[in-house]
Amino acid sequence: MIIPINEEQKKKAPIDRSLCTRCGRCCYLMIDGKPVKCKHLVKLKSGTTLCRIYKKRIGEVIGQGFKCGYIEASPYDYKECPFNTGRPLFNGGKPYDNFD
């Protein structure tokens, strides 16, 4: 998934985190070619999501040895994400909302 970036990198590419739509799409891992949601991601009745460990998420192991980090460090863009920068779409843009 996403790898943490250091503070210097964060200063170079500041983003307004209030623009996040809380869709949860960036909270998936690609495991064995399939998208799997982070164990800390919760889908709310409203359709938005929340992270159970949001305040301490950066650097935390979130599954299969992956660590949570800043979206700026992701190698992917996510469908309809305000932080997209032209990177390849995660899962090729296919649906992966498997909140079970």
Q: How far apart are CA 27 and CA 49, in angstroms?
A: 10
Query: Which residue numbers in the chain have pLDDT < 50?
Result: 1, 4, 99-100
**Cβ proximity of 69 and 5 under 8 Å:** yes
Q: Taking the complete model, does pTM exceed 0.75, yes or no?
A: no
Per-residue pLDDT at 52: 93
What pLDDT shows up at residue 32?
84
pLDDT digits (tens, 9 = 90+) for 16-25: 888 988 888 8
